[in-house]
Amino acid sequence: MKHGAAVFFRFLAVFVVIFLGITAVVPQSTIKDDDAVLPIWNDVNEENGADIIEVFKLGIITGGTDGEYGINTPLTASEAAYASVRIYEYETGRDYSFDYHKSDEGEKYIKKAEKYKLWDDSLPQKDEAMSREEFAAVISRLDKKSEKLNEITDVAGLDSLKHKDEVLKMYNLGIMIDTNITEAFSPEIKITRADASKLIMMYLKPQRRIKIVMPDYEAMEKKITETMSGWQGDWSLYFEDCKTGRQILVNSHQVYSASLIKLFVAQTVYQKVADGVIANSQKLENEITKMITYSDNEAWKYIARKLGNGSYSKGMAEVTKTAQASGFSDTGQFYQGSHKNYNFTSVNDCGVYLRGILNGTIVSPEYSQKILSLLKKQQHLHKIPSGIPDTVTTANKTGELDYMQGDAAIVYAPNGTYILVIIGDDLNNGYGQVSKFTELSEMVYEFLN
């Protein structure tokens, strides 16, 4: 009896050691689902879990073994090639070439993907991270028969892509992370495991794909042009649908800027801070805040003198220099006779500037975000924002003189973000024509939403 008890307890001790060893290696708990044991990862929740669980059950992307799936972990070329091979063999009824993904066998997966014509030398190798554009190219090569949901041919930003045709195919199939094509298929943004799982399930389950309803841009442009043509003064407009990149430009040319110039002052001072020419301080940040959100002129002059080592005119010369170097050819302070300098810009320069803010290219992503956060706190909301429902977020900067009125805005509308810039120059009683901004803003919003 004693010998039998000893054997039993030795067996129990070995079992406990083995159990503890397993839980140390795979710490996530499991749940029973459709006769499959599924891990519960710490970073997976109801919002992102459906796609992840499905690709895991199919053995396409297995995730991490440290208690987290790695929803924000960039997908490697090895993982992407393995996933594409798995999907191809699943759809064609072939036996699986590989039972599961091994991190040190990336070359095997890529070689097999090349055999299936899913991979080539234009794509990353081994453990290199995949971009959104590159992963879209791989998924597009899997699809041979799907019907198009969308008929998009004119999308800004595609010409610079290495995989333009494959990205456009994905867009038209409705397989996308979101409807902003410049972000959905960006060559600069790495595809994460969570986003890759979403794209894979949109490919495998067409009912999850996105149908894009394109606004009637031609009708909108015609109505805008006809409306503005009947107004006193010199009116110009810039519009860009950030979802598709489609632009409308009406009568853009150099005009008086008034306080719209402060957008470019903010760019210049942050560029000097980023370059280490000017030291940042709470005082400087406070003045930038007042200049943008309240359009405070004293704050503007303080910053200009800071840029010009005490001289306002030299400071504005720095603003002009920065604007010109950034491609804003209509913007800056220019001599106009009678020994006076005046500030100028155009709707195109302001519109492209706001696009740069959204893309993070005004100085840097950090400083673009700083300026954007101030524009969202804007106190002068009586122009473009006044034509938009109060529930919709806007980010804008106004400019006003008796003979000039302007507003440059980003509108985060339900059907997609857009940029709208309106300037009226050479006006009689400019302050009495503010309602025209509301009229145009309502018109654009209703066309898009």
DSSP per position, 118-180:
S--TTS--TTPBPBHHHHHHHHHHH-SSPPPS------TT-TT-TTHHHHHHHHHHT--SSS-
What pLDDT, on the 0 to 100 scale, is given for residue 301? 96
Return the amino acid letter for 227.
T
Mean pLDDT by 10 residues, the chain (449 residues): 45 39 36 50 82 92 81 94 97 94 93 97 93 95 90 71 90 84 82 94 94 86 96 97 88 96 98 96 97 97 96 95 97 72 94 95 96 97 97 97 96 92 95 95 94
- Rounded CA gap, 41 and 126, in Å? 26
Q: 227 and 194 in one domain?
A: no
Q: 254 and 235 in one domain?
A: yes
Q: 382 and 266 in one domain?
A: yes
Residue 6 within a domain? no
Which residue, 286, 287, 289, is CA-closest to 301? 287
Q: 321 and 289 in one domain?
A: yes
Task: Write the CATH number for 391.
Answer: 3.40.710.10
CB 412 within 8 A of CB 432: no
> Which of 208, 239, 274 is the last residue before a domain boundary?
208
- Rounded CA gap, 264 and 382, in Å? 22
Contacts of 292 (CB under 8 A, 6+ apart): 262, 263, 266, 371, 374, 375, 378, 397
Q: 375 and 358 in one domain?
A: yes
CB 415 within 8 A of CB 448: yes
CA 253 to centroid of chain Cα atoms: 28
Residue 8 within a domain? no
**Looking at residue 292, what DSSP letter applies?**
H
What pLDDT, on the 0 to 100 scale, is given for residue 196? 95
What pLDDT, on the 0 to 100 scale, is given for residue 23? 35
Which residue, 132, 231, 252, is CA-closest to 436? 231
What pLDDT, on the 0 to 100 scale, is given for residue 44? 86
Q: 329 and 196 in one domain?
A: no
Side-chain-facing half-sphere of 319: CA atoms under 13 Å: 32
Handedness of CA 138, 141, 142, 148 (dihedral sign): positive
Return the amino acid letter for 274.
A
Q: 340 and 269 in one domain?
A: yes
Residue 7 within a domain? no
- Rounded CA gap, 152 and 242, in Å? 14
Q: 265 and 197 in one domain?
A: no
Q: 242 and 166 in one domain?
A: no
Contacts of 244 (CB under 8 A, 6+ apart): 152, 154, 155, 156, 181, 212, 214
Q: 222 and 135 in one domain?
A: no
> Which of 158, 179, 208 is the last residue before a domain boundary?
208
Residue 2 within a domain? no
Q: 151 and 182 in one domain?
A: yes
What pLDDT, on the 0 to 100 scale, is given for residue 16? 35
What single string gives the DSSP state of each residue in 357-415?
A: HHHT-SS-HHHHHHHHHHHHT-S--SSGGGGS-TTSEEEEEEEEETTEEEEEEEEEETT
> Which of 191, 208, 225 is the last residue before a domain boundary?
208
Q: List the domain range (segments joined by +) for residue 115.
A: 15-208
What pLDDT, on the 0 to 100 scale, is given for residue 157? 63
What is the model's pTM? 0.66
Which residue, 394, 395, 350, is CA-closest to 375? 395
What pLDDT, on the 0 to 100 scale, is given for residue 337? 57
- Rounded CA gap, 226 and 224, in Å? 6
**Looking at residue 94, what DSSP letter applies?**
P
Number of structural domains the chain divides into: 2
Residue 407 within a domain? yes
Q: 374 and 286 in one domain?
A: yes
